[in-house]
Structure 1
Amino acid sequence: MSDLIEQALLRYDGLPVAERFHVHARAFSAPLLAMAARTPVGAVADIGCGHGLLSALLALEDPRRTVHGVDPDSRKVAWARRALAGQPNVRIEEGTVEETLAGGASGRFDAAVVCDVLYLLPEPKWPGFLSTVRDLLKPSGRLLLKEVEGDGSWKHRKALAQEWVMVSLLGRTKASGGMALKPRAEMTRYLKDAGFAVREVVDLGQGYTTPHVLYVAENSVP
């Protein structure tokens, strides 16, 4: 376990067992450190922050970051606020990305991180969501979008089954009618259509039973 992951997980020691288990499982099943390593310093929006683990990693790795996490799930937001109450450069808010923008955040952020969120939305909403995230960014601000690739592999099928359990059976994750996993060529097209310049597509599936892919893009619209 990396020192950074260990420091972040310590913040969750006071949470109930079920919540701690969820956070620990997330720490070891998603390439969050790879996302943090590519995130610039400055103001960072963590869209769909959940329990706030990625927010914690970003804030702990570099105190020059100020992290604004937002999530529509009031239960997860409450746990995130409780765990990260002592972290001065993190703020967790309940709401959607659209509500964040309505709160005067347009063009304010140096970076936005979106980790395993897009696939939970109905696909027709993807263009609007991505455009709204872009509107949060400064010119040339960076988006780090981590999704599970729909590549037809056994890892792809396993990820769909796992998410069905989390969303439909256990109710641990809120979805809005989505559950679509796309090949990287389609995801790249969505990003370009929303006004992003895609700088890097990183395969992060090695060592995991999930086909993780990270898209690093920049706001190309003045």
Structure 2
Amino acid sequence: MTLLSPSVSARATEPGLLPIDAERWPDVARLPRASALRTAVARTLVERALSRLPLRTVTPRDLSSADGSSSAPTLTLHDPRAFHRRIGADGLIGFGESYMADEWDSDDLVGLLTVLARHVDDLAPAPLRRLRGAWVHHRPRNDRNSLDGARRNIHRHYDLSNELFALFLDPGLTYSSAVFDSLPGRAADLEAAQHRKIDRLLDLARVGPGTRLLEIGTGWGELALRAAARGAHVRTITLSAEQRTKAVERVRAAGLSDRVDVELRDYRRTSGRYDAVVSVEMIEAVGPEYWPGYFGSLRDLLAPGGRAVLQAITMPHDRMLVTARTHTWISKYVFPGGLIPSREAIARHSAAAGLGIVHDAGYGEHYAETLRLWRERFLDQEKAVEALGFDRVFRRMWELYLAYSEAGFRAHYLDVRQIVLTTTGGQEG
């Protein structure tokens, strides 16, 4: 997939501004419409909020006279007018688009975003938070995860390029949180940490010789391969054509085609009974209106005595409710149609489907380390990413996405859980 094109915004002729492909990035290439009053209000609110946080906001002129004694993360505004105008028009979507447009930077992007994540409820005055619904953007109906919509949404992220993901993931191409032997994690340990995570999930699912295993969300096939190596018979389903192609290739190369079937299939179009169902960081792509059906499918797909094992990113319930009503920068550019659930939402919807949680353990700090290693490798591979056809706006978008996600875990705004569900319930020791 190529993201470069000859259609470039006129902003490219302005000194100091990033050339932007206006066809590929229309809302980044042009500044949004926003009245002078709205922009001024946004500037006042943003400056007031940031002044109360442990960070510095500067312009390039300020940097020339800075003494460098402060250890606080720095937000450098290259174009304050554009920055405040985007936020005035589009809130946090504008904040992200401003970064994509090179209008602001930071000497410690993760540190800056961690501060903002820790104080997310303090960024706007309480009276304005109560009026939030009047000015935020609502999620597009076209992003709903209907049968057709889910395929489109998965395609937009996971079918970007297998070669792109290979540049920053471990050799097994595992795109979910690792579990390290010790923290902080090291790049040299990432593959082993991913295997440790997969093996914990397979142990929780009690996968062994003869186990009939269904995996919902194939990725690039590493879990299916490790399950088959234990002697399991694996059916793994995905909506990503690119991932399926690579997974089939890897299964064939491993000589496990007799034990692993990789299908391009929606979980809602899947039948059968399985001793175990494993789904790793897939519930985030389901969408809240489809959670009842998702947990109902898990129940229906389990054989008597079977176990469903999830690895799921979670957020606090009150923040989930706000996010569910809001079109965010992440939902616009990174994961259309997605929503991170809360532990309460998982418990409620699984119970309604007749499933009980028997195990629930968190590894949020391990995800922060996983994301750090991915981000560092992604940045180290800038030239290779560019050679695949991904332009600078895309690279800044993905840098922000990886840093934003890491900050969420470092601020404990996000967590990642390994959860076991059964039809019998009853917490395990």
Q: Shorter-chain TM-score category?
A: 0.7 to 0.9
Matching of residues 48-197 of structure 1 within 5 Å: 48-60=217-229, 62-63=230-231, 65-85=232-252, 86-87=255-256, 88-101=258-271, 105=272, 108-151=273-316, 169=333, 175=336, 177-179=337-339, 181-197=340-356
Q: Deviations over 1:5-30 (max 9, x none)?
A: xxxxxxxxxx9643533652636733
2:362 to 181, 188, 203: 203
C-alpha separation between the residues in 2 aligned to 1:68 and 1:20? Answer: 24
Q: Structure 1: which 5+ runs fail to align?
A: 1-14, 153-162
1:91, 1:146 → 2: CA distance? 22
Q: Which secondary structure does the structure 2 equivalent of 1:32 belong to?
A: helix
Change (3 A) 1:150 1:66: same
Which of 214, 232, 252 lines up with 1:45 in the alignment? 214
Q: Distance in 2 between matches of 1:22 and 1:110?
A: 34
Gaps of at least 5 residues in structure 2 are 1-160, 179-196, 318-327, 369-408, 410-414
> Which residue identity does 1:178 align to in structure 2?
G
Structure 1 range deviating more: 198-207 or 127-136 = 198-207
Task: State the distance in 1 between where 2:345 and 2:176 align.
Answer: 27
2:419 counterpart of 1:215: yes
Give the match's secondary structure for 1:91: strand
TM-superposed deviation, 1:117: 0.9
Partner of 2:198: 32
Q: Deviations over 1:33-73 (max 9, x none)?
A: 3212212231010001121122122222x11x111100111
Q: Flag the 1:56–1:22 CA change in 2: closer, same or farther, 3 A.
A: farther
Q: Secondary structure at the match of 1:29?
A: coil
**SS class of match (2:233):** strand
Question: What amino acid maps onto 2:243 in structure 1?
Answer: K
CA offset digits 1:104-130 (Å, max 9, x no partner): x1xx20000011111112201011111
SS state at 1:84 partner: helix
Tell me the TM-score normalised to structure 1 length.
0.72
SS at match of 1:200: strand
Q: Give the secondary-structure state (helix, strand or coil) at the position aligned to 1:26.
A: coil
The structure richer in strand per residue is: 1
Greater radius of gyration (CA): 2
Q: In 1, are the aligned partners of 2:310 and 2:418 still within 8 Å (CA)?
A: yes
RMSD: 2.7
Contact conserved, 1:23 with 1:53, CA < 8 A, in 2?
A: no
Q: What is the identity percentage for the equivalent residue pairs of Structure 1 and Structure 2?
A: 22
- Assess if the C-alpha contact under 8 Å between 1:127 and 1:194 holds in 2: yes
The answer to whether the 8 A contact 1:138-1:219 is kept is no
Matched AA of 2:279: V
**Alignment TM-score, normalising by the size of structure 2:** 0.39
Q: Distance in 2 between matches of 1:97 and 1:56?
A: 20
